[in-house]
Amino acid sequence: MKRSINILAAMVLALATLGSAHAKQDDIDITRLNGSLNQLATDPSLGVYAQAEQARARDAINRLAQASSRERPHALYLAERRVDLAKTAAQLQDAQVKLAQLDREHDQILLDNSRRDAEMARRELERQRLQYQLAQEETARLQAQGQEYSQAADQARAEAEQAKKLAAAQSKVARAAKRQAELAAQAAKAMRKQMESADEPAKAPPQASKQHR
């Protein structure tokens, strides 16, 4: 009888020890999962994300704390998966926010590049417009200068033609004066001959008188 009592006491002690070990293990798992979830909740980058998933993970940990020894393995699995899901969801949302930020920055970069390209195109267009305007002004100046050169050339040709006509007239006048002088000289010579012819008969009688003597 005493032996049976001792055996029963040993079994009770073993069950108590096993229960205490299970309770201790439960406390370790709950502490681990709560610590992991608290770390996520206090993370400055991830804590603000996946609030619903964090709440579900917290509920799963509470159910694990209240689960019986038979329900505990399943409750532990669900709690661990809920904590992992909360971490993954927070990381995913953080990545999505960062990706959206990168997209906005990329769009802003594209917008800035587009504005810069548009400004460069506007400046290039303005430069070409000014260059075209200067070319037109230079063309007009050359045309005006060409007209001036043409008018000056026409005037020079007209003056040359007038000088040519004047020279021809002067030459004609000179020839006429020369001809007139020649005619005058010929007339004077003819007159001298006539006068000489008129003087010769008056000298003849004295010669005849000498012969008579």
Stretch 95-115: mean pLDDT, rounded? 93
What integer pLDDT is reported at residue 28 of this predicted model? Answer: 94
Question: Is the entire prediction scored with pTM above 0.75?
Answer: no
Phi, then psi, of 156 in degrees rounded to 5: -65, -40
Model confidence at 51: pLDDT above 90: yes
Kindly report, residue by residue over 163-182, the tens digit of the pLDDT.
888 888 888 878 888 888 88
What integer pLDDT is reported at residue 46 of this predicted model? Answer: 94
What integer pLDDT is reported at residue 198 of this predicted model? Answer: 73
C-alpha to C-alpha distance for 81 and 84, rounded to whole angstroms: 5
C-alpha to C-alpha distance for 32 and 26, rounded to whole angstroms: 10
Question: Closest Cα to residue 57, out of 73, 81, 39?
Answer: 81
- Go through 103-140 and write b for each residue having 16 or more CB atoms within 10 A of its CB, e for each that does not: eeeeeeeeeeeeeeeeeeeeeeeeeeeeeeeeeeeeee
Average pLDDT, the chain: 83
Kindly report, residue by residue over 143-166, the tens digit of the pLDDT.
888 888 788 888 888 888 888 888
